Amino acid sequence: MRKYRLLPFEFKRHSNGDVLLVNECGDFDFITEGVFSSLVNEQFENISNEVLHRLESRNIIADEEHFDTSISLLANKYRSRREYLCVSTALHMLVVTLRCNHKCEYCQVSSAEEDAYKYDMSPEVAEKVVDLIFESPNPVIKIEFQGGDALLNWDTVMAAVRHAEKLNASKKKNLEFVACTNLYALNERHLNDIKEHKIMLSTSLDGPCWLHNKHRRLRLEGSSYNVFVEKLKMARDALGHDCASALMTSTADSLDNIKEIVDEYVKLGFGGVFFRSLNPYGDAYEKGLCYSPEHYFKMFKEGLEYIVDINKKGMRFVEYYTALLLKRIITPFSTGFVDLQSPSGAGISGVIYDYTGDVYPADEARMLARMGDTRFRMGNVFKNTFKEIFLSDVLKNILSESCVETIPGCSSCVYRTYCGVDVFRNYLETGDIANVRMEGFFCRKQTQIFDYLFERIQDPEFMSVIKTWIGG
């Protein structure tokens, strides 16, 4: 009989009686309790050849004779999962204004009145930001204009776009632009510029008319939903159907009406929806609009099963958070999603520049600054160089403290390879980046979702749908 050695893995007993094994690179398998007992006691003679071959192919065990080869294979997979650490920041978000024509109940950025111009980024600041961005060695640069509503400071947006295009004439980077907007202020000038400079639109849709209007309120009278539908059609007529994506913000009302929300996204011709949980910052925090992870998971499960049924009936429609998670589970590649990386992708996968030129590792860090806590400010584009900002002690501390492999509770979790650290929520809840609480929102939410996905992953019909979402 061949001689085997155990490779490092974590495990968890699932409700169906099987034991889930996951190695350092995310390879996984389910085995019975009896096989598990034999495995951990290295009684390989008690395990069938079929199971042994499967465990070997999934890098749970290694043939003694080919042990070094198995380690090399694991190392290659590990490097693939950590590939994002080998390149500099690609996503750069500019807060061009805090002004907004909406007054959303859950606003996380403490938006300002539409005429409050002191909260605008100047063209000079924007161009200085762009200069700094192009010092990044990453061959991909994505510049995202945020607010408030980016359309309300369009002169600055276009100053940044034109300056970036000018620099890129020699830099030759893969350059993309995105403007975040509720579409309310959209006009022909915007459309002409968007078309000429190939700017994508990112907007917000909470669900059907009653739900959208309930929390996404106009500062003036009227239906924000009706304006959204009108302006979305205007954009699509001018730019093409796929010119805009949409995000939902999940309130307690959303969680209890998820099928209606999905139906609305389908009706308006979107290709999918992102079950985005509410950020506990800004107005959402102050107004107590947050909810339990159990309530969120109930929505997630109900909504995902509903979407899978839609796909089974012949219509491709994606739940994007599930797609991200399953990509982490069944492929060796990272997703670029900040909270699903170890160390955290804050600052290295994305960075945000406030209208003042202050630089933060994530939007949540900027929100905390709005609440009076500036601990995570990395620097300012006028006061600090690229190296000073991206090699700052602030960012180094975030990275060193957000490795799930070294955090108590996370380090022994079976889902560690697929998960990450919600740095700023940890800080908000505990006062410490690395103080991950198993009873905290993020951990409870992720554990429930992973438990459920690993239950469903064994269903070939379910996976045949999911694989179409991630190119598998």
Six token digits for residue 333:
């590649």
Mean pLDDT of the 81-102 span: 91
- Calpha distance 192→199 (Å, rounded): 10
pLDDT of 407 > 80? The answer is yes
Do residues 163 and 126 make contact, with C-beta atoms less than 8 angstroms apart? yes
Assess whether 155 and 287 both reside in one domain.
yes
| Model pLDDT for residues 431-447, shown as the tens digit of each residue | 887 776 777 889 999 99
- How high is the pLDDT of residue 426? 84
Question: Looking at the 3D structure of the chain, how many domains does it have?
Answer: 2
Same domain membership, residue 321 and residue 225 = yes
The pLDDT confidence band at residue 275, using thresholds 50, 70 and 90, is very high
Quick one: 124 and 50 in the same domain?
no
Name the β-bridge partners of 91: 142, 350
Q: Once rounded to an integer, what is the mean pLDDT over residues 372-385?
A: 96
Please say whether the beta carbons of 216 and 223 come within 8 A.
Answer: no
CA distances from 141 to 62, 88, 90, 136, 350 (A): 41, 10, 5, 8, 10
Give dist(CA 57, CA 70) in Å, integer.
10
Does some domain include residue 318? yes
In a domain, 112, yes or no: yes
Tell me the mean pLDDT in the region 302-325.
97
| Same domain? 63 vs 167 | no
Residues 43 and 104 in one domain: no
Boundaries of domain holding 74: 4-81
For residues 307 and 344, membership in a common domain is answered with yes
- Is the N-terminal amide bond of 148 cis, ω within 30° of 0? yes
**Which residues make beta-bridge pairs with 97?**
120
Residue 371: the pLDDT is 82
Tens of pLDDT, residues 114-124: 666 789 999 99
SS3 204: strand
pLDDT at 287: 67
Question: What is the pLDDT averaged over residues 135-151?
Answer: 96
Does a structural domain hold residue 293?
yes
Q: How much is the pLDDT for 171?
A: 97
**pLDDT computed for residue 112 by the predictor:** 65
Give every CB contact of residue 357 below 8 A, 6+ residues apart in sequence: 121, 125, 128, 129, 380, 381, 382
Confidence of residue 109 (pLDDT cuts 50, 70, 90): low
Angle at alpha carbon of residue 240, lines to 234 and 242, rounded to 5°? 105
pLDDT for 422: 87
Q: Coil, strand, or helix at residue 407? A: coil
pLDDT digits (tens, 9 = 90+) for 165-181: 999 999 999 999 999 99
Mean per-residue pLDDT, 228-242: 98
Is 395 a member of any domain? no
Q: What percent of the chain has pLDDT over 70?
A: 95
Asked, for residue 33, whether it belongs to a domain, the answer is yes
For residues 199 and 157, membership in a common domain is answered with yes
Residue 433 lies in a domain: no
| CATH at residue 334 | 3.20.20.70
Give the tens place of pLDDT for each residue, 6-64. 999 999 999 888 999 999 999 999 999 999 999 999 999 999 999 999 999 999 999 99
Query: Is 60 exceeded by the pLDDT of residue 472?
Result: no
- Which has the minimum average pLDDT: 19-28, 146-155, 419-428? 419-428
Indicate the residue among 81, 109, 132 that finishes a domain: 81
Q: What is the pLDDT of residue 282?
A: 60
- Give percent of the chain with pLDDT exceeding 90: 75
In a domain, 128, yes or no: yes
**Residue 267 and residue 194 share a domain:** yes
- Considering the domain architecture, whether residues 25 and 109 belong to the same structural domain is answered as no
Token pair for 157: 């947006």
Pairing of strands 358-360, 350-353: antiparallel
Domain's final residue, options 33, 49, 81: 81
Q: Which of 390, 424, 441 is the last residue of a domain?
A: 390
The two tokens of residue 9 are 């893995």
pLDDT at 288: 64
Give the mean model confidence (pLDDT) for residues 220-244.
96
Higher pLDDT, 87 or 91: 91
- Higher-pLDDT residue of 409 and 308 is 308
**Residue 335's pLDDT band (cuts 50, 70, 90):** confident
Residue 338: the pLDDT is 87
Residue 438 lies in a domain: no
Residue that wins the pLDDT comparison between 83 and 168: 168
